[in-house]
Amino acid sequence: MTELYHRNMPRPITTAPTTTLDALVALLRDRRIAVLVGAGLSTDSGIPDYRGPGTRHRTRSPIQYDDFVQSAAARQRYWARASRGWPRVAQAQPNAGHRALARLDAAGRLTGTITQNVDGLDRAARVLEGTDAQAPVIDLHGRLANVVCLECQRTHARVDVQRWIAALNPGHLEPLGADKREGDLLAPDGDFELDEATVARFVPPTCPVCDGALKPDVVFFGESVPKPRVAEAQVVVAEADALLVVGSSLAVYSGYRFVRQADKASIPVAIVTLGETRGHRHAAVALDAPLGEVLPALTERLLVA
């Protein structure tokens, strides 16, 4: 492999992003890459996104942080719905796109992966590829697999919380009938559409240590990403020679900030996702294409000696 790109080398100036795989390969070939992952990477694993072509028509109202911590009714509604969606998330497996990025990591081509997803598939892909992460994998918004008590701050495994929910609510976790498509009722954070009568009779779980309210260890809308986590992600971008954004609309500032950071530092940005994003104006290359096709092809060409 040729020596990796250094940022002080001349960078082509473009007025609009180019849109071919060849251009993407040329941009990334000799650079160390920071990867920013959005929900679009997990759709091939059966977890929907919020703003993709197939989901923009759906009305979604994600739980707000203030509502959750201040309202017992909001927590009841959240856990009633999330407990039904969790099995689909827990059973999901990394897809070809996740595994392609894991191979780039194993080859030492990444400075790190910043994932906006809470499904844990970026880490699971490293296991399937038979390698530990060579560079950091930063769960920017946390992981659904962990649950924290808002009172005593103890952390519990989601699989245990799910077991407590099943005991408190017999029959609640039974699959829907064959005439229902459970995937159509699921959101990327595990939220699952339920009727209000089902929500009203649901008994939410509490901490077995102090009986405090439980919250998934993820960043809700209206909640800030912990500053140390943001700082760690900023280092991943700062150490890179290119930023590759995959499967994100960049509509949420918590991810978009890293595109702005890269642009300000003259680190070239490449975007691969379905549809346009608010980061396109910063991008040197932008592909509107399926990640399950582009990422394996990109990885194969980047890893040719």
Catalytic residues: 141
Q: Answer yes or no: are the C-beta atoms of 253 and 226 closer than 8 Å.
A: no
Residue ranges of alpha helices (H) inside the chain are: 21-28, 65-70, 72-91, 96-106, 121-128, 158-168, 196-200, 227-238, 253-264, 291-302
Q: What residue has token string 């920013």?
A: 36
**How far apart are the C-alpha atoms of 146 and 26, rounded to whole Å?**
40
Q: Which amino acid is at 139?
A: D
The secondary structure of 221-249 as a DSSP string is BT-PPPHHHHHHHHHHHHT-SEEEEES--
End-to-end CA distance of the chain: 5
Structure tokens at 73: 């009714």
Q: What distance in Å separates the CA atoms of residue 252 and residue 266, rounded to the nearest whole number?
A: 22
